[in-house]
């Protein structure tokens, strides 16, 4: 089916389309999870089909793997790849230092493993994802099922000593059942409102028994590509200290396939 894109989807599309230009023939590419990352996979699939682009993709979730295969991208495992040239993924929030909150789609563990096994991580996002301080979006923490209530209580107790505005947490649900990640774990969402010391919080959370990983991506992202509904994109490179504004052609974007990812 084809539909007219909403302004937010147009912004996601142009950021994904611009980020796809970083991908070169022969690369091993980490493929993120979520609605913006799905646009990237479609854009890369179009290049594979129409331009003969040869890449191998390492998906960060089962649903990304399916989409990648559907659009003609060769899918391999991270064990097959060993190391990646580039990972492109979305984010739920990012700040001026390009620290991120990720995991709204439930794939934070695989996303972080893949991102840190890459020479470069590029984040694609619409402008609304930029914040002064992380934390308005709930911070996902992936925990093992065994003793998850105890783990949740330990997390909430630890938050008392952290510089955050909120300290409540909820188990993520899928209907009337707990949400289960691709790795068979639960997710506890932390409602913090504002996080002042992201690095400290990330380290403290990961030291807790029962915690597998948290959704704070600190010092991992190298470039962010910010899309706007009118086709403008801003490319920020934190390593080079550069900011570039560009205009993307979105003339045919309303005719792209949309599957509701």
Q: pLDDT tens, 166-184? A: 999 999 999 999 999 999 9
Two structure tokens written together for 9: 């989807």
User: Is 12 a known ligand-binding residue?
Assistant: no
User: Is 198 a known ligand-binding residue?
Assistant: no
Fill in the DSSP letter of residue 96. T
256 vs 229: which has the higher pLDDT:
229
Phi-psi region of 113 (alpha: psi -120 to 50; beta: other; left: phi over 0): alpha
Two structure tokens written together for 114: 């893949």
Find the mean pLDDT for residues 249-258: 56
Query: What domains are defined for the chain?
Result: 7-129+219-255 (3.40.50.1360), 139-214 (3.30.70.260)
d(CA 186, CA 260): 24
111 is annotated as an active-site residue? yes
Q: What is the pLDDT of residues 33-67, one digit of tens each?
A: 999 999 999 999 999 999 999 999 999 999 999 99
Two structure tokens written together for 162: 């952290």
User: Is 34 a known ligand-binding residue?
Assistant: yes
Supply the pLDDT for residue 255.
Answer: 46
User: Is 181 a known ligand-binding residue?
Assistant: no
Supply the pLDDT for residue 5.
Answer: 87
Query: Which of 153, 205, 212 lies closest to 187 in space, CA to CA?
Result: 212
User: Where would I find the H helices in the chain?
Assistant: 7-20, 35-51, 62-70, 78-81, 108-116, 148-159, 198-206
Q: What is the pLDDT of residues 97-108, one digit of tens each?
A: 999 999 999 999
Asked whether 192 and 139 are in contact (CB, 8 A), the reply is yes
User: Is 102 a known ligand-binding residue?
Assistant: yes
Q: Which of 93, 111, 142, 213 is catalytic?
A: 111
Find the mean pLDDT for residues 194-221: 98
């Amino acid at each position: 089916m084809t539909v007219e894109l909403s302004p937010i989807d147009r912004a996601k599309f142009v950021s994904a389309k611009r980020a796809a230009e970083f991908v070169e023939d022969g690369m091993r590419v980490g493929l993120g999870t979520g609605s913006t990352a799905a646009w990237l996979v479609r854009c890369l699939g179009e290049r594979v089909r129409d331009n003969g682009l040869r890449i191998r993709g390492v998906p960060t979730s089962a649903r990304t793997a399916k989409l990648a295969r559907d659009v003609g991208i060769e899918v391999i495992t991270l064990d097959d790849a060993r190391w990646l040239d580039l990972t492109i993924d979305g984010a739920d929030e990012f700040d001026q230092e390009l620290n991120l909150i990720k995991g709204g789609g439930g794939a934070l563990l695989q996303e972080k493993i893949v991102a840190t096994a890459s020479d470069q991580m590029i984040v694609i996002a619409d402008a609304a994802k930029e914040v002064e301080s992380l934390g308005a979006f709930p911070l996902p923490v992936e925990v093992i099922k065994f003793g998850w209530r105890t783990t949740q209580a330990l997390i909430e107790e630890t938050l008392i000593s952290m510089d955050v505005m909120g300290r409540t947490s909820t188990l993520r649900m899928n209907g009337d059942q707990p949400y289960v990640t691709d790795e068979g774990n639960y997710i506890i969402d932390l409602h913090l409102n504002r996080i002042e010391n992201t690095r400290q919080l990330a380290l403290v959370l990961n030291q807790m028994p029962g915690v597998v990983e948290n959704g704070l991506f600190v010092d991992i992202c190298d470039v962010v590509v910010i899309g706007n509904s009118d086709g403008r994109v801003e490319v920020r490179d934190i390593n080079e200290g550069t900011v570039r504004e560009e205009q993307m052609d979105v003339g045919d974007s309303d005719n792209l396939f949309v599957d509701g990812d």
